[in-house]
Chains A and B, each alone.
Chain A
C-alpha cells in the first residue's frame, strides 16, 4: 500500500490528488478534512493547540493503516496532522484513502478517524479568546 504520514506545524497545504501509482486501480479516493470549530463544549474558543508525540504517532497510524489495508483492501492512504496552534476554521487533520470501491474507502476513512481518537498520541487543548 502506498502511504504518506506527515506532521506539520504550519497550515496544511492544499492536498494533491491521488498518487499517480494508484490511478487506474482505485475506484474511490475518499478525503476528510477535520476543522476547528468556533466552540468546544459550548464555550467559544480562538484555536486548538495540538501536541504530538511524533515518533509514536507515526508508528501507530502506520499500524492502523496496515490493519485497515488487510480489512478493506486499501490501495493508498495519506494522513496529515497539524501540531501547535490551529485557529478556528482551519484544518487540523487531513486523511485520504484509496480503495477499489467507495464503500471500502468510506468505511476505512471513518475507522481511521475513530482509531486516531483511541490510542494515537496526539492531544488538543482549547485556546480561549484574549
Chain B
C-alpha cells in the first residue's frame, strides 16, 4: 500500500511517501505497529494523526490492504 505523509510530519521524516507490503489485510493498530517500525520518527505524532484510506477518514474498525492509499492526517489548518 502507498503511505502518504503531509505537512510537519513529512518535514520531520524528510519524505512524502512510502510503499508498504502487507501479506493480508491488517487493522489500524497493526498498521501503526508496522509504520512505527519503518519510521520511528512518527512516534511523537501518532496521538494526533488520523488515518485516511483512499481519500476518506478511516473508522476504527476498518482494515487496510495492499491496494489502498493510506494518508496520515495530522491536525488540519487550512484557510
Contact = CB atoms under 8 A, between A and B. Distances in A.
Interface of A: 34, 50-53, 55-57, 59, 81, 92-93, 113, 116-125
A125 B7 contact: yes
Given A117-B77, A122-B77, A122-B79, A53 B8 contact: no
Contacts of A119: 57, 76
A114 to B, nearest CB: 9
Interface of B: 4, 6-8, 10-11, 52, 55-57, 71, 73-74, 76-79
Nearest to A58: B55
A124 B6 contact: no
Given A59-B55, A59-B56, A119-B57, A53 B77 contact: no
Question: Chain B interface mostly helix, strand, loop or mixed?
Answer: mixed
A11 to B, nearest CB: 17
B55 A123 contact: no
23 contacts: A51-B7, A53-B6, A53-B71, A53-B73, A56-B55, A57-B78, A81-B78, A81-B79, A93-B78, A93-B79, A116-B79, A117-B78, A117-B79, A120-B76, A121-B6, A123-B6, A123-B7, A123-B8, A123-B76, A123-B77, A123-B78, A125-B8, A125-B11
A56 B56 contact: yes
A37 B77 CA distance: 15
